[in-house]
């Protein structure tokens, strides 16, 4: 899949259906509304924090990006306290141990 | 449509046994036949297996091992709600007239591949269920001002109920402090907040109205069914404090049974993690939003087993596809007045709630004696 080969290179792209003006997520081959072909484009790497929690080692979160799509990723801890709705930025993405991997930073 | 009743069942103890899925399926089927000597194998038209195990042709295999030659035989897989989904399929065969008698057997091993939904890449590296449960818990705590101590009552209550369930995985009781001091998995979840993967099998027999009289004097009728799938990926959920699929499945089940939440005397609900119990109680319509934990706490304080009398998933263990069948067996026993120490007095109407993948889909059954 085009999405995964690009993600492997560190590029986060999403499929967009021009006809329906809709971003399709998680990645698929066709639009979930009209089954039309998708145009792939790089996503704006900024969004907002929807929710987060923490294991012993790391903070994980749900973040919402352009087009309303949501991802789960690792939230880098820094001096800023996470708040729901805080602005975030995707710092890094790729495929790790077979899973999509997103590293997210509070802006 | 033909009326459909539950007539017989067979259970196994939920354990950590390392046995093949075929042996597991056969053990509850054997229990069902041993408890029902007037049951003829020739009368069974359909054999449905519910499991997440990655093996082929399990229903014909179970049929052969049990000496049954059914017309219809196949597997039903739908993650954690495979059990009730197979019951709904069996119901449909009987209601439509394609079958008169259907055997449904749910089974899972402790290391089931159904515990992780690999497809859901929107969860990134956080595919294990404890991560969606942590997100639900954090959101629920914030929205309703709930503490970890408040949530712990679910585990305390359900372990206590499971103590009187001879088939439960757990036979220990715990205090609020025990739950709070149990191993921390995330900031929101302790090990005692979790239902535990285990090995188990449960079998149930469904029959048409004409056939019911031949095999039991205490049929339990399926009075309503509601199902809803919202999505497959967890991140599609608009709210982490509401279960949209449960609300819709409940609305539909209550509507087609002409019953209301206030009519329900006993329920088994899908407490995969502590936070699920209050959310489900609210979304089934038993209590207003935010009131679920107070409801569970009152039940515990008054020794009322109305919700999760067999111990729910937290107390009884969660062998994924066996769960929905075991929940339905518990409500059947309750409505037959045969639940022993767990019996709710004068229970006539019961509810089963089973869900999958962070409540992206739900099934609700309403049963009546």
> What is each CA distance from B289 to B148, B159, B344, in whole angstroms?
18, 25, 25
For residues B179 and B323, membership in a common domain is answered with yes
Band the pLDDT of B339: cuts 50, 70, 90.
very high
pLDDT tens-place string over residues B217-235: 999 999 999 999 999 999 9
The verdict on A103 touching B (C-beta cutoff 8 Å) is no
pLDDT tens-place string over residues B18-28: 999 999 999 99
For residues B46 and B89, membership in a common domain is answered with yes
pLDDT(A1) > 80? no
At residue B48, φ and ψ (nearest 5 deg) are -115, 125
Residue B54 CB coordination number (10 Å): 10
**Rg over CA atoms, chain A:** 14
Cβ atoms of B255 and B333 within 8 Å: the answer is no
Could you tell me the CATH number of the domain that includes residue B183?
3.40.47.10
Q: Which two tokens stand for residue B352?
A: 């089963």
Contact A99 B184 (CB under 8 A): no
> What is each CA distance from B151 to A45, B194, B212, B263, B314, in whole angstroms?
36, 12, 42, 26, 13
For residues B53 and B152, membership in a common domain is answered with no
pLDDT(B237) > 80? yes
| Interface predicted TM-score of the whole assembly (ipTM), two decimals | 0.96
pLDDT(A79) > 90? no
Contact B187 A54 (CB under 8 A): yes
Cβ atoms of B325 and B17 within 8 Å: the answer is no
For residues B129 and B84, membership in a common domain is answered with no
Q: Sign of the CA dihedral B294, B295, B298, B303?
A: negative
- CA nearest to B133 within chain A: A53
Mean pLDDT of chain B: 97
> pLDDT over 90 for what percent of chain A?
87
Lowest-pLDDT range, A67-71, B55-59, B182-186, B336-340? A67-71
Contact B138 A51 (CB under 8 A): yes
The verdict on B239 touching A (C-beta cutoff 8 Å) is no
Predicted TM-score (pTM) of this structure: 0.97
The verdict on A70 touching B (C-beta cutoff 8 Å) is yes
Mean pLDDT of chain A: 94
Q: Rounded to 5 degrees, what angle do the CA atoms B195, B200, B201 make?
A: 130
Measured distance CA(B296)–CA(B305) in Å, rounded: 10
Domain that holds residue B23: 4-112+198-220
Q: Rounded to 5 degrees, what angle do the CA atoms B182, B187, B190 make?
A: 25
> pLDDT over 70 for what percent of chain B?
100
Q: Which of B121, B186, B187 to mutate to test the interface with A (most CBs of A within 10 A)?
A: B121
Contacts of A25 in chain B (CB under 8 A): 122
Smallest Cβ distance to A53: which of B125, B135, B234? B135
**Rg over CA atoms, chain B:** 19
pLDDT of residue B37: 78
Contacts of A94 in chain B (CB under 8 A): none
Q: Which of B126, B130, B231, B275 to mutate to test the interface with A (most CBs of A within 10 A)?
A: B126
pLDDT of residue A81: 85
Band the pLDDT of A78: cuts 50, 70, 90.
confident
Could you tell me the CATH number of the domain that includes residue A60?
2.40.50
**How many domains does chain B fold into?**
2
Q: What share of chain A is helix, strand, coil (3-state, %, to 5)?
A: 10, 50, 40
Q: Sign of the CA dihedral B217, B202, B101, B20?
A: negative
Q: In what order do the strands lie in the sheet with B266-268?
A: B72-76, B46-50, B101-108, B200-208, B4-11, B220-229, B361-368, B349-356, B266-268
pLDDT of residue A66: 84
Band the pLDDT of B36: cuts 50, 70, 90.
confident
Q: Which of B275, B306, B278 is nearest to B292 (CA)?
A: B278
pLDDT(A62) > 80? yes
**How many domains does chain A fold into?**
1
Mean pLDDT of B132-161: 98
For residues B150 and B210, membership in a common domain is answered with no
Smallest Cβ distance to A55: which of B127, B186, B235? B186
Mean pLDDT of B170-186: 97
Q: Which of B270, B282, B10 is nearest to B158 (CA)?
A: B270
- CA nearest to B138 within chain A: A53
pLDDT tens-place string over residues B278-289: 999 999 999 999
For residues B108 and B130, membership in a common domain is answered with no
For residues B275 and B362, membership in a common domain is answered with yes
Domain that holds residue A61: 2-106
Q: Sign of the CA dihedral B330, B331, B336, B341?
A: positive
Mean pLDDT of A61-78: 93
pLDDT of residue B238: 87
How close is the nearest chain B Cα to the Cα of A55, in Å?
4
DSSP B81-132: THHHHHHHHHHHHHHHTS-SEEEEEEEE-TT-GGGS-TT-GGGTT--SHHHH
pLDDT(B199) > 90? yes
Measured distance CA(A84)–CA(B186) in Å, rounded: 18
Tell me how many residue pairs between chain A and chain B have CB atoms under 8 A apart.
67
Cβ atoms of B247 and B283 within 8 Å: the answer is yes
Q: Name the B residues in 114-173 with CB < 8 Å from any A CB.
A: 120-127, 131, 134-135, 137-139, 142
pLDDT(A2) > 90? no
Contact B126 A60 (CB under 8 A): yes
pLDDT of residue B178: 98
The verdict on A83 touching B (C-beta cutoff 8 Å) is no
Contacts of B120 in chain A (CB under 8 A): 26
Lowest-pLDDT range, A81-85, B70-74, B318-322? A81-85
pLDDT of residue B38: 80
Q: Where are the beta strands (DSSP E) in chain B?
A: 4-11, 46-50, 72-76, 101-108, 200-208, 220-229, 266-268, 349-356, 361-368
């Amino acid at each position: 899949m085009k999405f995964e080969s690009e993600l492997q290179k560190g590029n986060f792209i999403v499929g967009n259906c021009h006809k329906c003006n809709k971003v399709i997520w998680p990645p698929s081959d066709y639009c979930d509304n009209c089954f039309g072909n998708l145009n792939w484009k790089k996503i704006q790497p900024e969004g907002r924090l929807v929710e987060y929690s923490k294991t012993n080692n790391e903070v994980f979160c749900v973040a919402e990006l352009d087009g309303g799509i949501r991802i789960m990723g690792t939230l880098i801890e820094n001096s800023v306290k996470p708040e729901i709705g805080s602005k975030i930025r995707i710092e890094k993405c790729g495929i790790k141990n077979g899973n999509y991997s997103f590293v997210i930073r509070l802006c | 449509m033909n009326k459909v009743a539950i007539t017989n069942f067979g259970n196994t103890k939920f354990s950590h046994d390392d046995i093949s899925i075929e042996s597991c399926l056969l053990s509850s089927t054997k229990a069902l036949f041993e408890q029902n000597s007037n049951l003829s194998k020739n009368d069974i038209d359909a054999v449905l297996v519910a499991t997440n195990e990655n093996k082929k042709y399990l229903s014909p295999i179970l049929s052969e091992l049990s000496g049954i030659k059914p017309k219809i035989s196949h597997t039903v897989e739908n993650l954690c709600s495979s059990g009730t989904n197979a019951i709904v399929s069996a119901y449909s065969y009987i209601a439509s007239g394609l079958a008169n008698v259907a055997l449904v057997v749910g089974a899972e091993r402790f290391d089931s591949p159904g515990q992780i939904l690999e497809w859901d890449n929107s969860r990134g590296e956080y595919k294990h269920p404890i991560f969606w449960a942590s997100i639900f818990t954090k959101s629920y705590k914030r929205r309703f001002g709930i503490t970890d101590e408040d949530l712990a009552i679910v585990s305390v209550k359900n372990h206590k109920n499971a103590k009187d369930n001879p088939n439960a995985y757990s036979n220990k009781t715990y205090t609020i402090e025990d739950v709070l001091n149990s191993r921390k998995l995330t900031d929101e979840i302790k090990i005692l907040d979790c239902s535990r993967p285990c090995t188990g099998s449960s079998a149930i027999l469904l029959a048409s109205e004409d056939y019911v009289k031949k095999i039991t004097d205490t049929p339990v009728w399926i009075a309503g069914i509601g199902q809803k799938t919202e999505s497959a990926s967890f991140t599609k959920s608009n709210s982490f404090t509401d279960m949209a699929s449960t609300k819709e499945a409940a609305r539909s089940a209550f509507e087609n049974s002409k019953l209301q939440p206030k009519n329900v005397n006993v329920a088994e609900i899908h407490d995969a993690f502590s936070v699920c119990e209050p959310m489900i109680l609210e979304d089934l319509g038993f209590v207003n939003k935010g009131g679920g934990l107070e409801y569970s706490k009152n039940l515990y304080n008054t020794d009322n087993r109305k919700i999760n009398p067999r111990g729910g998933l937290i107390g009884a263990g969660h062998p994924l596809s066996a769960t929905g069948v075991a929940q339905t067996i518990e409500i059947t026993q309750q409505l037959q007045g045969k639940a022993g120490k767990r019996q709710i007095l004068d229970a006539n109407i019961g509810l089963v709630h089973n869900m999958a993948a962070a409540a992206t889909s739900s099934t609700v059954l309403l049963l009546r004696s």
